[in-house]
Structure 1
Amino acid sequence: MSDDMKRLAAERAVADVTSGMRLGIGTGSTAEHFVRALGVRVRGGLDVIGVPTSERTRALAQEEGIPLTTLEETPALDLTVDGADEIDNALRLIKGGGGAHLREKIVAAASTRMIVIADGSKCVQTLGKFPLPIEVVPFGLGATRNALEKLFVSLGLGGELTMRGGEQHPFVTDGGHYILDAHLTAIPDAETLARALVAVPGVVEHGLFIGLADKAYVAGTDGVFEMTAGSEV
């Protein structure tokens, strides 16, 4: 059922795509439905070009026959469509469950608009139940971890900080970095945490997306709901 809902949300977002658009194309299970639906429209004559946010998305887009570019060649995009691991009623997001949030955030920030596609289970009153991904440089990992733990204590946030993939075989992002997942349970002030995280040496990027999404298509048992800032979750 969840997969069907993801597909419905993705298909709704594809309807917003028009010929001539420069697209940011997200990563993850919901975004893959978008890529497949977009491929159908491209093969039907839709003229678009896309920037994929991961090597996995790039491979799928190429399979679907979607023309691709890079931010070096096309630095300004019209629209990014991507999924989310959590979304609140202010359209703040947690992303990075697939390990691509660095590229996803770069692409989203280069876009005039961002549409989020999700099923209803991703909607929350307060961000934080989903572990917050923090992408870090492998060098100095112990010091970076210590700094993050002290930061969480200073902000009154509890929870374990774990290495994605495990200490012996860490998950490595497309950019060659590691991911520390912060199990914070709740993030009452996402803006303050976001600013504090980027100030920690060794942190490359984090999974809090604030001020980037313009709307979301959220699919549930009653169909697809268009969500904007202030909508009931």
Structure 2
Amino acid sequence: MSAAAVIRVLICDDQELVRAGYATILAAQPDMEVVGEVGDGRAAVSEAQRLRPDVVVMDVRMPVLGGIEATALLAGPGVPDPAKVLVVTTFNLDEYVYDALRAGASGFLLKDARPADLIAAVRTVAAGESLLSPAVTRQLIGRFADRIRPQANPVDGLAPREIEVLKLLAAGLSNAEIAAGLVISPETVKTHVSRILAKLGLRDRVQAVVFAYRSGLC
């Protein structure tokens, strides 16, 4: 594998044992390189800006600066060349996860996930896709939906088919599931998703899910 294909990862967690575990798992992959490890949010921001990793694995609760605040500084609205942040958390329905997604995270993973899940998550986020399982999407967004204010005429400019795809995406369906439901090819779904993101000025599927709920589509 060429050096250009290697996924460079920065690990941010205040527990040294957790950092060591992540580093051991990821560094053992032929397509990954752990370029740094830090124990607080401020250091995470500093090192991410200095090292420009492909993926930042970010804990939520850290000293000095929390993971949510650090994520917003690295990937939030208005940040030029935002980082790809994979947030890890202890609880499935932790309010901090929702806040992290709004701060610009590309997805999240539970800390009790299997090593294979962590590896797959890093690859998914590095590829520019979001990591948000259907079940957790429905539970997480549903729990906080009453806080989200609908926007006026939110989907102006979207074609009817694109609105259909956005609704299914917000329900947590994968491209393959959307394709099966609409009787179109996965490649066509991928094209629709790309157009939706471009038209709405969104970065990834996670932002599209939040947008759909903010817009009252779900």
Q: Which has the higher helix share?
A: 2
- TM-score (normalizing by structure 2): 0.32
Which structure's relative contact order is higher, taking Cα pairs within 8 Å and 6+ residues apart? 1
Q: Which has the higher strand share?
A: 1
